[in-house]
Amino acid sequence: MKTQALRWIVAGSLLISSQLAAQPLENLRTQLSGLHSDQPLRLKVDVEIKHRGSAPLHLNNQKTRGRAVVTYGPRGAEVIKAQSRGSSSWFSLWRSKKEDGTTEPLLSWEEAQILADPAGMLDSLLSEASVVSEETVDWQGQPARLLVLRPSGLATEGQVEEASVKSGFEPLVLEAKLWLDERGIPLALESLTELRLTAALSAMDHQSFTFQQVDGRLLVAEAQETSSGTALAVLRSRESKTMKVSVVR
């Protein structure tokens, strides 16, 4: 997958309104520290990757499924085993198949690190974020608190709009939503990134996580990422990656 898992950290990419006061998130960060553990852990990760690219007289479809084994401990995550199988279809009158992209690993180190220690990723997010809004909602049949987050201190909306007019394109917009249970434990996280360079070029990236608790530590239960892009209104690509995580006892 061409998008990198480090972008899940979200920090440094969002714009915050100067009219929205930053709210302290230190209590939540303190609670997250109690959900982190360096005790040895082994995870099984089932992965599915889909890619579709299209252009005039060109079509490329690829699908890969596989399984990776991840260990985690004081020195971080390590992918110790990865097996996959795939299928593809190809048609092109203007590009050879050998020239089409590069092979990426089934599961990168950055992805493995976040799956095994989402508390670290969330702490990085919250250290750079301000709360845009907060409300009580229903999440999969249980009451939850929804926080909408954007990084603080990058630019005001007025400055962004002025820069947008001068440059002729819409700025990068990214917003994160974090669901917490009644105790303040993270249930899920979503982020959306969108960049439009007029009507000729656009890119979108959507990421979502659901979390699980195992022996008092926070882990990712499932992660999904979908990316799409359009160039010159005729060149289109779409990629998706789903990772389902379970603990190996």
**pLDDT of the residue at 139:** 95
**pLDDT of the residue at 32:** 92
**pLDDT of the residue at 16:** 33
Domain that holds residue 153: 5-247
Query: What's the chain look like in SS3?
Result: CCCCHHHHHCCCCCCCCCCCCCCCCHHHHHHHHCCCCCCCEEEEEEEEEEEEEEECCEEEEEEEEEEEEEEEECCEEEEEEEEEEEEEEEEECCCCHHHCCCCCCCCCHHHHHHHHCHHHHHHHHHHCEEEEEEEEEEECCEEEEEEEEEECCCCCHHHHHHHHHHHCCEEEEEEEEEEECCCCCEEEEEEEEEEEECCCEEEEEEEEEEEEEECCEEEEEEEEEEEEEEECCCEEEEEEEEEEEEECC
pLDDT along the chain (249 residues), means of 10: 40 34 70 92 94 59 91 95 70 47 77 95 87 92 92 50 50 80 94 70 84 95 87 68 94
- Number of domains the chain contains: 1
**pLDDT of the residue at 118:** 95
**pLDDT of the residue at 141:** 93
